[in-house]
Amino acid sequence: MAVETTTKRWGMVIDQNRCIGCWTCAVGCKEINNEPLGFWWNRILTASPGETTGESSSTVADPASDSIDVPHGTFPDVDMAYLPVACQHCEDAPCVKVCPVDATFRRDDGTVLVDYERCIGCRYCIAACPYGIRVFNWGDAEQPVDFTIGYGKDYRTDGRLVFTPDRPRGVVEKCTLCVERIDTGEQPFCVEVCPVGARVFGDLDDSESEVAQLVDDGGATQLLPDLGTKPRIFYLPVQQERSV
Partner 1 sequence: MAARVDTPGLRAVSLGRSSRIWFALLGILMVWGLGAWIYQLTQGLIATGMRDVVSWGLYIFSFAFFVGLSAGGLIMASGAEVFGVKSLRPLAPIGVLTAAACVLVAAMTIIPDLGNPQRVWEIFRYPNWSSPLVWDVIIIVVYFAFAVTDLVVMHRRSMEKTKRLRTLRILAYVGLPTAVLLHSITAWIFGLQISRPWWNTALMAPLFVTSAILSGTALIALVALVAQRFDRFELPRETWTTLAGLMATALAVDLFLVGSDYVTILWGNVPRERAALDLILPGGSWQWLFWLEWLVGGLVPFVLLVTPRFKIRPGLLALSSVLVMVGVYAFRIELVVGGMIKPLLQLPPGNATGSYRFGQTSFQFQGIYHPTWVEYGIVVALAAFLALLITIGYRWIRSFERAGAPA
Binding site for partner 1 (CB under 8 A): 36-40, 43-47, 52, 58-68, 85, 94, 97-103, 118-124, 126-132, 134-140, 142, 168-172, 223-224, 227-229
Taking the C-alpha atoms of residue 10 and residue 12, their distance in angstroms, rounded to an integer, is 7
By beta-carbon proximity to partner 1, the closer residue of 95 and 204 is 95
By beta-carbon proximity to partner 1, the closer residue of 14 and 211 is 14
Taking the C-alpha atoms of residue 203 and residue 111, their distance in angstroms, rounded to an integer, is 12
Buried b (16+ CB within 10 A) or exposed e, 206-228: eeebebbbbbeeebbbbbbbebe
By beta-carbon proximity to partner 1, the closer residue of 3 and 101 is 101
CB 168 to partner 1: min, Å: 8
CB 145 to partner 1: min, Å: 14
CB 20 to partner 1: min, Å: 16
Taking the C-alpha atoms of residue 154 and residue 146, their distance in angstroms, rounded to an integer, is 17
Tell which residue, 170, 50, 56, 176, has the closest CA to residue 107.
176
CB 176 to partner 1: min, Å: 16
By beta-carbon proximity to partner 1, the closer residue of 8 and 116 is 116
Per the CB < 8 A criterion, the answer to whether 2 and 181 are in contact is no
CB 119 to partner 1: min, Å: 7
Tell which residue, 7, 21, 12, 64, has the closest CA to residue 175.
12
By beta-carbon proximity to partner 1, the closer residue of 22 and 227 is 227
φ/ψ of 196, rounded to 5, equals -115, 10
